[in-house]
Structure 1
Amino acid sequence: MPAKVAAAEMHETENGRVSACGSTVKLKRELGLFSAVNLILGVMIGSGIFISPSSALEHSGSVGLCLIIWAISGIISLLGALSFAELGTVLGKSGAEYSYFQEAFGKMHKFWGPLPSFICAWIYVMILRPAEVAVIVMTFAEYAVEPFTTDLHPDYKATAIKLTCLSALFIMTYINITSVKLFVKVQNVFGICKILACLIVIGGGIYEIAKGNTEHLDKGFEGSTFNPGGIALALYSGLWAYDGWNSVTVVTEEIINPGVNVPLSISIAVPLITALYVFMNVAYMAVLSPAELVSSPAVAVAFGARVLGPARALIPLGVAVATFGCAMSVQFGVTRVCYTAARGGHMLEVFSYVNVKRLTPAPAVAFQAILTSIFILVGNIKTLIDFASWFLWFFYGLAMVALLVLRKTQPDKPRPYRVPTVVPCFVLLVAIFLSILPIVHDPSVKYLMAIGFIVLGVIVYTLFVYYKFTPRALLRKFTFLTQVLFESVPPSKYQD
C-alpha cells in the first residue's frame, strides 16, 4: 500500500530532530514496468552514442570486430544486470551495491565488514556520480546554447554554458524533490524522445545502405587488432557506453512489484539498447570512414550533416534531450544511494529523511545538487571521471561476490528471481579482468588518484563512522535546519 501522511504537524525533539505526529513516512512505490524500462533507458542512453562512440573502433581496428565488441558488451551488460536483479529482488532494498555489500559482508567483522559498503557510498555519492552528472549537464548546455551563441566571445559563451548548466541542474533538482510521479512523467517523455533520436540515425543509415553506400562496411575485418590488450580496451570502451544497466536496482523500494518488474524491465531495456547501439554503429560506419569516426568530436552531428540535410538540427536536439534525461536519471539514482547509506549510518542521518508531503528524499537530492554545482563551477573535471569505469567494474565484481556469499549464508531466503550460478561467476571474471588490465596496460596517475580516494574514505570511515567523532551540537543544529527547510522527517521503519 502507498504510504499516507496522516498528519503533517512537525515538532522539534530533544535531540534536535523534527518528527511528524501520527504519520507513516517512507518512499512510495511509483515506478511500474514502463517507467522502470524508461529509467534504464534514461541512464544508459546518454551523450556517448551520439558524440563519440569511436574508442571501440580505434582499439579494435576494423568495422567487423568493432560491431562484435558492441554486441558482446551488450551481452555482458545483460548478464550483469540479471545478476543484480536477483540481488535486488531477494533483498528488496534500494541502494544497489551499497545494500548488497551491507547484507553480505556487514556482519563479518566489526570494523572491516561494513567498510566495502561505506567505500561504495563514499565514491558514488561524494565523487563519482555528482562529477558524472556535472559532465553530462555540461554536454547538454554546450548543445543547448550552440545555436544562440555562434557570434559570442568565447568568454561570454563559457559563462552562458555555465549558467545554462546551473539552470538545468536547478530544474532537474526541482523535479526530483517535488515528486516521483513528476520525475516518472518527464522521464517517460524523454525516454521516448531518445528512442526516436536513435531511430532517426538508424533510419538514415538504412537509407544510405539501400542506396548502395556500403564501401566502408565492405571492409569487414580488414585491419582488425587481435592483440588481447587492444581487444580488452575496445571492450572497456563498449561497456562504458552501456553503463547504467543496474539503475533499476538502485531504486528497488520504489518499483511496483519488484520481484516481477525488476528482472522484466532489465530483460526488455538492455537487449533493446544493445540492438539500438549496434545498428547505430552500422549507420555511422555506412556513412563515415573509420578515420572520420575516430577523429570526429561529435559523430552523430557529422552523420546528420551528411545524411539528414535540412533535418540535421534534429541530432543536436537529440543530444540535448538524451543528456538532460540521463543527468536527471543519474541524479535520481544516486540520491537513493545517499538515502540508503544515511539510513545505514554511513552518511549524515538527515540525508535519510523524507519530505512529509511529497515523500521524496529531499535533503539527499539537495545535497547531490550542491555537490554537482561545485563540480560544474570547477569546470575541467573530465579527468576526474577517466577512472570511473575502473571503480564501476571493481564494485560490480564485488557485487557478484556478494551474490555468491548470500547464496551460501542465506540459502533459504525466498528468491523471486534467480540466475544460473555460472552467470555471476562469468561477470566476476570479466570484472577482475577489467579491473586489472588497465593498470597493467597503461599505469598512470589516475589509478593512484583512485587509490587515494579509497584511502581517504577509510580515514573518514574510521573517524566518523567507526569511532563516531562528530560535533554533536553543530550536527543537531544542521539537522534541525535541514528538516525545517525541506519539511522532512525520519522515514518509518522499512517494510516490504
Structure 2
Amino acid sequence: MWVICGVYNMLCAVCYAELGTTIPQSGGEYVYIKRAFGEIPGFVCVWINFLLICPLGIAASALIFSLYILKPAFPNCNVPEEGLALIAAVIVCFLIALNCRNVKWAAKVQVVITASKLIALATVIVIGMYYIGKGETENFQDPFEGSDYSAGAIAISFYSGFWAYSGWSYLNFLVDELVEPNKNLPRAILISMTIVISTYIVANIAYVAVLTPYQMLQSPAVAVTFGDMTMGVMVWVMPVLIAVSVCGTMNGCALTFSRLFFVAAQNKQFPNFMGMIDVKNLTPSPSLLVILVLTLLYTSSKDIFYLIEMEGFGFASVLTMVFAGQIYLRYKEPDLPRPIKLPIILPIVLFLVSLSIVILTFAQKPKESWMALGLVAIGVMLYIICVKWKSKPKGISEKMDKFTLLLQKVLVVIPPENPDEVDWE
C-alpha cells in the first residue's frame, strides 16, 4: 500500500501539473473546479477544504505531536486524553499566532522542521539497515500474514496514504509565483514524489527489521517503540524529532489554506472579514483565527485515526471533482493552451479510482461518510442563503454589515486595496 498510494499520489500530482500550467492561478483545486463546473461546485471544494481537510489535518497532526511528546512519560500505559488534547491545543495556538505575527517567521520555522523530519527518517533507516546487516531478518518471514485484502479495507488504507504523502497539491496554490512553472512544476512534483516514496519504503523496511508487524500495529507511536528498542540513553531524541517534524504539517496547512480562504472571501464565497488582513502585520489573521477555532473543536475528539479518515474522505471527494473537471475541460475548452497535455485516459482512471474510494467508504464507514456529506450539504445551504440570495431584506444586510464592522474593530483588520498584490512573503 505504501507503493500503491505513492504511485497514485504521484499520478495525481502529474495531473495537477497539467491543470496548474493550463490555468496558472493561485487557488489550486478551487480554481480548476470553478472553471469547469461553476461557482457552486467551486464553493463545495473550498467548503470541504475549510471544514474537513484543513482543520482536521492540523488537529490530527497536533494530537500526534502531543502523543510523541507525552508517550515517553507514560511508557507502560496510555497517555491521558486530557493531557493529549491540552498539549495539542497549545501547539496549535502557538503556530497560528506565529502565522498571524509574521509569515516570514513561519517560513523559516518550516526549514527547521523539514531538517528534523529528514534527520528522524535517516536515523530510522540507518539503525534498520544496521539490524539487517547483522542478519536479523526473521520479521520478514510471512510479514503479510493475517492481512485484510477486502476492497473496503484497501479503500480506507488510501486515507493513511493521503496523509503520509500529503503536501504535493500545495504547489498548485502558489503556481503563479513559480519561476517557469511549465518546467519547474512537473519537475518539482516528479523529483520530490520519487524521493518521498523511496524514503518511506526504505524507512518501513527499517521498521520491520526491528519491530514485528504486531508490535507496529499495537504501538500508538511506532517511532517511540522503535527508539525504545534501539537507541538506549538517546531514546528521547526520536520523539522530539518526530514531534518537531509534525509541526511542519500544521504550519504548512495554516500557511497555505489561510491564503485559499482569503481568496474565497475576495470572491464573495466566504464572509467578508476572512478576506481582510491585519493592519500592522499584513497577514490573513481572520482566516487563521477561524482555522484555529475549528481545529480546537476537532482536537477535542482525541481520536487521531478518526480525524485522518475524515480528512481523507474529504480529500478523495475533492480529487474526484478535480479529475471530473479536468476531463470535462478537455471538451468544454478544447483549444485552451495546455503546455503539459497528458493522455486523457490518465485523469479518467484517477477519477474512477477516486470515486471508487469515496463509494467504498460509504460502505465501510457509513456513519462518518454521511456525517461528512451532511456538513457539505449545510455548506451549500449557507452559500445559497448568504451568497446567492441577493435580494435580502435591508435589515438583514445591515446586521451582517454591522457584524463585519465589529469583527474589523476587534481584530484590527482591513480589506486590502489590491488583493492580488498582497505580499505574503
TM-score (norm 1): 0.76
Query: How do 1:67-86 and structure 2 match up within 5 A?
Result: 69-86=1-18
Quick one: distance in 2 between partners of 1:453 and 1:177?
28
Aligned to 2:42: 117
**Alpha-carbon distance, 1:96 to partner:** 1.8
Q: Which amino acid aligns with 1:77?
A: N
Superposed CA deviations along residues 40-88 of structure 1, whole A, max 9, x for unmatched, are xxxxxxxxxxxxxxxxxxxxxxxxxxxxx21121111001011112222
Matched, 1:402 2:402: no
Conserved 8 A contact 1:131-1:381: no
Quick one: distance in 1 between partners of 2:52 and 2:2?
28
The one of 450, 461, 465 equivalent to 2:372 is 450
Matched, 1:301 2:224: yes
Quick one: distance in 1 between partners of 2:103 and 2:141?
48
Quick one: distance in 2 between partners of 1:204 and 1:139?
23
Q: Which amino acid aligns with 1:448?
A: W
SS of residue matched to 1:428: helix
Conserved 8 A contact 1:94-1:250: yes
Quick one: distance in 2 between partners of 1:380 and 1:74?
25
Quick one: distance in 1 between partners of 2:117 and 2:29?
27
Could you say if the C-alpha distance between residues 233 and 150 of structure 1 is closer, same or farther in structure 2, counting changes exceeding 3 Å?
Answer: closer
The one of 103, 125, 128 equivalent to 1:205 is 128
Quick one: distance in 2 between partners of 1:279 and 1:244?
20
Query: How do 1:14-413 and structure 2 match up within 5 A?
Result: 69-106=1-38, 114-145=39-70, 161-219=84-142, 227-355=150-278, 358-377=281-300, 383=306, 386-413=309-336
SS of residue matched to 1:321: helix
Conserved 8 A contact 1:483-1:489: no
Q: Which amino acid aligns with 1:465?
A: V
The one of 395, 413, 416 equivalent to 1:490 is 416
Q: Which amino acid aligns with 2:242?
A: V
Superposed CA deviations along residues 459-482 of structure 1, whole A, max 9, x for unmatched, are 212211211458332332343344
SS of residue matched to 1:267: helix
Quick one: distance in 2 between partners of 1:150 and 1:405?
53
Q: Which amino acid aligns with 1:462?
A: I
Quick one: distance in 1 between partners of 2:55 and 2:310?
14
Structure 1 portions without partners, runs of 5+: 1-68, 107-113
Aligned to 2:382: 460
**Alpha-carbon distance, 1:130 to partner:** 1.4
Q: Which amino acid aligns with 2:245?
A: A
Quick one: distance in 1 between partners of 2:314 and 2:70?
32
**Alpha-carbon distance, 1:252 to partner:** 3.1
Query: How do 1:405-444 and structure 2 match up within 5 A?
Result: 405-440=328-363, 442=364, 444=366
Quick one: distance in 2 between partners of 1:353 and 1:487?
6
Conserved 8 A contact 2:53-2:312: no
SS of residue matched to 2:16: helix
Q: Which amino acid aligns with 2:414?
A: S
**Alpha-carbon distance, 1:235 to partner:** 4.5
Could you say if the C-alpha distance between residues 323 and 225 of structure 1 is closer, same or farther in structure 2, counting changes exceeding 3 Å?
Answer: closer
Q: Which amino acid aligns with 1:477?
A: K
Of all paired residues, the percent bearing the same amino acid is 31
**Alpha-carbon distance, 1:125 to partner:** 0.9
Quick one: distance in 2 between partners of 1:422 and 1:132?
31
**Alpha-carbon distance, 1:97 to partner:** 1.7
Could you say if the C-alpha distance between residues 378 and 435 of structure 1 is closer, same or farther in structure 2, counting changes exceeding 3 Å?
Answer: closer
Could you say if the C-alpha distance between residues 281 and 91 of structure 1 is closer, same or farther in structure 2, counting changes exceeding 3 Å?
Answer: same
SS of residue matched to 2:168: coil
Q: Which amino acid aligns with 1:134?
A: A
Could you say if the C-alpha distance between residues 224 and 369 of structure 1 is closer, same or farther in structure 2, counting changes exceeding 3 Å?
Answer: closer
Could you say if the C-alpha distance between residues 379 and 214 of structure 1 is closer, same or farther in structure 2, counting changes exceeding 3 Å?
Answer: closer
Aligned to 1:33: none
Aligned to 1:476: 401
Could you say if the C-alpha distance between residues 260 and 354 of structure 1 is closer, same or farther in structure 2, counting changes exceeding 3 Å?
Answer: farther
Quick one: distance in 2 between partners of 1:221 and 1:146?
28
Of 163-172 and 484-493, deviating more is 484-493
Aligned to 1:60: none
Quick one: distance in 1 between partners of 2:300 and 2:219?
27
Measured on the aligned residues, the alpha-carbon RMSD in Å equals 3.0
SS of residue matched to 2:235: helix
Q: Which amino acid aligns with 2:241?
A: G
Quick one: distance in 2 between partners of 1:394 and 1:178?
33
Could you say if the C-alpha distance between residues 491 and 79 of structure 1 is closer, same or farther in structure 2, counting changes exceeding 3 Å?
Answer: farther
Superposed CA deviations along residues 331-356 of structure 1, whole A, max 9, x for unmatched, are 22221221122122210122122346
Q: Which amino acid aligns with 1:417?
A: I
Conserved 8 A contact 1:353-1:491: no
Paired positions, count: 417
Structure 2 portions without partners, runs of 5+: none
Could you say if the C-alpha distance between residues 379 and 203 of structure 1 is closer, same or farther in structure 2, counting changes exceeding 3 Å?
Answer: closer
Could you say if the C-alpha distance between residues 280 and 416 of structure 1 is closer, same or farther in structure 2, counting changes exceeding 3 Å?
Answer: same
SS of residue matched to 2:131: helix
Could you say if the C-alpha distance between residues 375 and 226 of structure 1 is closer, same or farther in structure 2, counting changes exceeding 3 Å?
Answer: closer
**Alpha-carbon distance, 1:366 to partner:** 2.1
Conserved 8 A contact 1:400-1:427: yes
Could you say if the C-alpha distance between residues 231 and 449 of structure 1 is closer, same or farther in structure 2, counting changes exceeding 3 Å?
Answer: closer
**Alpha-carbon distance, 1:146 to partner:** 5.0
